[in-house]
Every structure is written in structure tokens, then in C-alpha cells.
């Protein structure tokens, strides 16, 4: 459908599995035209030709779901692609059609209710696929564990007594190693074998995720208590272009860690944010809990906040806000490792040091030295201390750093 109006100034697209609906409006808000295109490469190019001018911003609803292919193609052709939010419920009073949704995307774009589309390129794209596979394996393990618990409850008394006192992985290994003759025991053995297989596959995927995080996001994975899975969840929430968010405050809101005012009368306080990306929020809370258990600075921070009159929950909220700020700076900063971690073992041996001597000299544990050398751990603080110690020894012995 074409209308009489000025040159297009805004483009809005309502995306679906099989079709994409394009709406164009001029600078005065008048409709230039509405067209439907197939959701395939030829349709993407035809939609771009209908817009015509690469200076026209394009608002795409669902740019990371049905509109992912379209958004990528438009970006390749030089268009500015922005993600628009779905129309609010009160805006649905005039009805819902693909044409109405496409026009609403135009209106949201013109009103500034949009943001640059999230990109998933390079390491972030690979992490997405690995995390999807791992989450499936973990979910399968959970279902099998529930199945095993149910069978133990209803199994004959002798079977229950045989495995009494065991749980988790120990139970699964013991059941899988048995040679039962009854139907209940054989069934439980098959469930246990399936659980162990899923655990092994999840472990291999986690190792790949750790390797990819160390290669693509060394600054993030090197932060205290940031593990492979928690770091990957944050990367997937932020995308490969986290600077699109506009600042660490917006990133904190994305993670659900921004403070929400909850004041009344003479009481001035803030509460936990229950919005945002829940996977990113989960990752930040996992990091916070780990630091509260193992990081002396975090323990002192929580104690100081509670001495100021805050409750434990409010102190944790402040900690999560601090962690979100730190993570945003790590994501948007340079991603170069502080030194070549793979050369640590060779440098230590060239200095004639054992792992114990290196650990004592660097002021870290022997287990930490071994983990750093095997690329099994990525702790920036320990890595810097180990590297500084090796440089001192190399300088004393006249060796060149590898």
C-alpha cells in the first residue's frame, strides 16, 4: 500500500517467521507506504530496496528473534538498525494487525523509544550456541535426577537400602556400576548412565566455554569470582556491542541491579530491582555470593554497609550494583590479557624454579600456580603477581621474558 507523502524519514518493521511487514513514514508522521516481504534473503534485499535511502533509520521489532536475519542484512547494507520495544498493552486498544505493529515501530523509533540492535558476532555468537547446548544437558540432568529420586521412593525395600546414604553424582556412579537382576535396578542403572553421559557432555561444553571466554573476553574472565558460565551469561545479555547500552547505569538496569526507590515519609531507602535480564541478574548474584565467601575486600565492604544501618539484603544490592559497574568497564575496555599465560610454565622452568618456589615468591598458592599454567584458571590479580615475580627473577638472571 502506497500513500501520498514526503520522503521516508523513518522505517518500522514487524517481523514474523515467514513474512516481514515494512512501514515508512515521513518527517511529519505521515504514512509513505506499507509493504509485506518474505522472510528470506531475497525478501531482505527487496525490503532494503523499498526503503531506498541508507540514511533512513530502521526500527525492527524482535531484532534478536524473527528479525535477526533481516537486521544483520540491513546492517551489512549500511542501514542504521535499531531495536524497538513491543507496543504497550494500552496501545493495543486500536487493534492489532501486522500493519498496525509496523506503524507502531515507526512511531517508537521517531519518539526515541529504541536502541541499537544487539549484535552477536565473533566470540559472543559461538558462546550462544555452546550455552544453548550446555543448558539442555544440565536440564536433562535435572530431569534424570528427579526421576531417580522418584524411583528410589517407590522401589522395593532392598533396593532403597542398597543406595541409602548416597546422593548426587556419587549415587549415580554407584547405581551405574551395579549389575542388578530385577527390573527396578536395571531401569535405575540406565537412568544413572544417562545422567553420567549428560554430565560428561556438559563438562566438555563448559571446558569449551572457558577456553572461548579466555580467548575472547580475558579481562572479564580474569575478574575475581567470575566463572566461565556466569561470564558467558553476562556476555550473551550484553551482546558483542555492549557500548550500545549508553553507559554503566543502563547496563546495571539490564542486569536488574539498578536501585529502585522505595522511600516513604522520613524513610529513605532503595530495594532490589526485579526486572532486567534474569540470566544476567543470576550471574551477577552468583559472583556476589562467591565474593562474599572468598574475597576479603567484599567481606569488608558488606560489613561497612551494614554498619551504616543497611540490612543484609540492601548491602547485597549495593554490592551487585558495584559488580555491574565493574563488569561493564571490563566488557567495554580492551580485551587483551595482561601477559601470555600459556608461557608461564616455560618461563618458570627457564628460571630454574619449582611450582612451590614460584608460589612462595609470588605470594599465591601452589594450586593457583598450577591452574594458571594449565590454563585452567583465569585470575587477573594472581596472574599479574605471578608475572611480576617471574620478571624479577628473569631480570636478576639476565633472561629475556618469553
* Structural domain contains residue 139: yes
* Structural domain contains residue 380: yes
User: Do 31 and 49 belong together in one domain?
Assistant: yes
User: Do 210 and 138 belong together in one domain?
Assistant: yes
User: Do 188 and 101 belong together in one domain?
Assistant: no
User: Do 27 and 44 belong together in one domain?
Assistant: yes
Alpha-carbon separation of residue 38 from 2, 16, 46, 264 (angstroms): 18, 9, 9, 53
- What's the rounded Cα separation, in Å, for the pair 124 and 213? 9
Please, which residues have CB within 8 angstroms of residue 203's CB and are 6 or more apart in sequence? none
Residue 22's SS3 state is strand
User: Do 131 and 99 belong together in one domain?
Assistant: no
User: Do 175 and 206 belong together in one domain?
Assistant: yes
* Structural domain contains residue 200: yes
User: Do 195 and 251 belong together in one domain?
Assistant: no
Q: Supply the range of the domain harboring residue 15.
A: 10-116
User: Do 89 and 15 belong together in one domain?
Assistant: yes
pLDDT score of 231: 94
Which CATH number belongs to the domain containing residue 100 in this structure? 3.30.420.140
In this structure, what is the dihedral angle of CA atoms 152, 167, 282, 274, given to the nearest 10 degrees? 50
Domains held by the chain: number: 4
Residue 251's SS3 state is helix
pLDDT score of 93: 61
* Structural domain contains residue 402: no
* Structural domain contains residue 237: yes
* Structural domain contains residue 317: yes
* Structural domain contains residue 244: yes
pLDDT score of 36: 94
User: Do 163 and 109 belong together in one domain?
Assistant: no
* Structural domain contains residue 3: no
pLDDT score of 89: 54
Instruction: Give which of 338, 378, 336, 330 is closest to 227, Cα–Cα.
Output: 378
Residue 241's SS3 state is coil
pLDDT score of 179: 86
Q: What is the mean pLDDT of each run of 10 residues along the chain (402 residues)?
A: 67 93 90 92 94 91 88 90 74 74 89 82 88 96 94 84 87 90 87 96 94 87 90 92 86 88 76 84 95 92 92 91 93 76 85 88 86 77 84 82 54
Please say which residue of 215, 249, 268 terminates a domain. 215
Please say which residue of 215, 246, 262 terminates a domain. 215
Which CATH number belongs to the domain containing residue 384 in this structure? 1.10.260.40
User: Do 252 and 198 belong together in one domain?
Assistant: no
Please say which residue of 61, 91, 116 terminates a domain. 116
Amino acid at each position: 500500500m502506497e500513500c501520498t507523502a514526503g520522503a521516508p524519514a523513518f522505517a518500522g518493521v514487524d517481523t514474523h517467521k515467514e513474512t516481514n511487514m515494512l512501514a515508512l513514514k515521513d518527517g511529519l508522521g505521515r504514512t509513505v507506504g506499507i509493504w509485506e516481504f518474505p522472510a528470506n534473503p531475497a525478501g531482505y534485499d527487496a525490503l532494503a530496496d523499498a526503503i531506498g535511502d541508507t540514511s533512513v533509520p530502521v526500527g525492527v521489532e524482535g531484532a534478536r528473534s524473527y528479525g535477526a536475519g533481516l537486521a544483520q542484512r540491513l546492517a551489512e547494507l549500511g542501514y542504521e538498525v535499531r531495536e524497538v520495544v513491543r507496543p504497550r498493552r494500552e496501545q493495543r486498544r486500536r487493534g492489532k494487525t501486522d500493519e498496525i505493529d509496523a506503524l507502531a515501530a515507526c512511531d517508537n523509533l521517531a519518539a526515541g523509544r529504541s536502541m541499537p540492535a544487539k549484535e552477536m558476532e565473533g566470540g559472543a555468537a559461538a558462546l550462544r550456541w555452546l550455552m544453548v547446548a550446555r543448558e539442555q544437558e544440565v536440564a536433562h540432568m535435572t530431569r534424570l535426577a528427579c526421576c531417580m529420586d522418584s524411583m528410589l521412593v517407590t522401589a522395593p525395600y532392598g533396593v532403597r537400602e542398597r543406595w541409602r546414604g548416597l546422593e548426587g553424582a556419587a549415587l549415580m556412579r554407584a547405581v551405574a556400576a551395579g549389575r542388578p537382576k530385577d527390573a527396578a535396578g536395571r531401569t535405575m542403572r540406565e537412568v544413572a548412565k544417562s545422567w553420567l553421559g549428560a554430565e560428561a557432555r556438559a563438562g566438555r561444553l563448559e571446558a569449551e566455554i572457558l577456553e572461548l571466554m579466555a580467548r575472547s573476553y580475558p579481562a572479564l574472565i580474569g575478574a575475581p569470582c567470575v566463572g566461565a558460565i556466569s561470564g558467558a551469561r553476562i556476555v550473551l545479555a550484553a551482546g558483542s556491542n555492549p557500548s550500545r547500552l549508553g553507559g554503566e547505569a543502563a547496563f546495571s538496569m539490564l542486569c536488574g541491579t539498578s536501585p529502585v526507590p522505595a522511600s516513604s515519609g522520613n524513610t529513605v531507602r532503595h530495594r532490589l530491582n526485579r526486572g532486567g535480564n534474569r540470566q544476567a541478574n543470576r550471574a551477577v548474584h552468583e559472583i556476589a555470593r562467591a565474593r562474599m565467601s572468598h574475597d576479603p575486600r567484599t567481606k569488608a565492604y558488606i560489613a561497612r554497609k551494614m554498619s551504616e544501618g543497611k540490612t543484609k539484603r540492601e548491602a547485597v544490592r549495593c554490592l551487585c550494583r558495584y559488580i555491574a559497574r565493574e563488569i561493564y568497564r571490563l566488557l567495554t575496555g580492551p580485551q587483551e590479557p595482561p601477559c601470555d599465560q600459556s608461557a608461564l610454565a616455560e618461563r618458570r622452568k627457564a628460571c630454574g624454579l619449582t611450582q612451590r618456589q614460584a608460589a612462595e615468591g609470588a605470594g599465591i598458592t601452589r594450586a593457583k600456580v598450577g591452574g594458571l599454567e594449565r590454563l585452567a584458571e583465569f585470575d587477573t590479580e594472581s596472574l599479574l603477581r605471578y608475572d611480576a615475580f617471574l620478571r624479577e627473577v628473569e631480570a636478576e638472571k639476565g633472561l629475556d621474558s618469553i
